[in-house]
Amino acid sequence: MTTLSVNINKIATLRNSRGGNNPDLVKTALDIERFGADGITVHPRPDERHIRYRDVPDLKKVITTELNIEGNCTEEKFVQLVLETKPAQVTLVPDALGQITSNHGWNTVEHKDYLIRMIAVFKNAGIRTSIFVDPLIEMVEGAAATGTDRIELYTEEYAREYAAGNRDAVQVYTAAAHKATELKLGINAGHDLDLHNLKYFAEEVPGLLEVSIGHALICDALYYGLENTVQLYKRQLK
pLDDT at 96: 61
The alpha carbon of residue 80 and the mean position of all alpha carbons in its chain are separated, in whole angstroms, by 19
One pLDDT digit (tens) per residue for the chain, 238 residues: 899 999 999 999 999 999 999 999 999 999 999 999 999 999 999 889 999 999 999 999 999 999 999 999 988 999 999 999 999 999 999 976 555 555 578 999 999 999 999 999 999 999 999 999 999 999 999 999 999 999 999 999 999 999 999 999 999 999 999 999 999 999 999 999 999 999 999 999 999 999 999 999 999 999 999 999 999 999 999 8
Residue 70 among the catalytic residues: yes
Q: Which domain holds residue 124?
A: 3-236
Q: Which one is catalytic: 33, 70, 152, 210?
A: 70
CATH classification at residue 142:
3.20.20.70
Contact in structure between 71 and 45 (CB atoms under 8 Å): yes
Q: Which of 205, 214, 187, 196 is nearest to 159 (CA)?
A: 196
Residues in the chain: 238
Residue 191 among the catalytic residues: yes
pLDDT at 101: 56
Angle at 204 between CA 200 and CA 209, to 5 degrees: 95
Q: Which one is catalytic: 33, 43, 50, 210?
A: 43
Q: Which of 129, 179, 187 is nearest to 154 (CA)?
A: 187
Residue 50 among the catalytic residues: no
pLDDT at 105: 84
Q: How far apart are CA 81 and CA 88, in angstroms?
A: 13
Q: How far apart are CA 149 and CA 103, in angstroms?
A: 22
Q: From the CB of residue 216, how many other CB atoms can be counted at a distance below 10 Å?
A: 21
Q: How far apart are CA 42 and CA 49, in angstroms?
A: 12
Q: From the CB of residue 232, how many other CB atoms can be counted at a distance below 10 Å?
A: 16
pLDDT at 173: 98
DSSP 125: T
Report yes or no on whether pTM surpasses 0.85.
yes
The contacts of residue 41 (CB under 8 Å, 6+ apart) are 5, 6, 7, 8, 67, 68, 69, 70, 91, 212, 214
Q: Which one is catalytic: 33, 50, 152, 191?
A: 191
pLDDT at 226: 98
Burial (CB count <10 Å: 0-12, 13-18, 19+), residue 18 = exposed
Query: How many domains, in total, are found in the chain?
Result: 1
pLDDT at 61: 97
Q: How far apart are CA 93 and CA 71, in angstroms?
A: 5
Angstrom distances, CA of residue 102 to CA of 85, 87, 95, 164, 199: 23, 21, 6, 21, 22
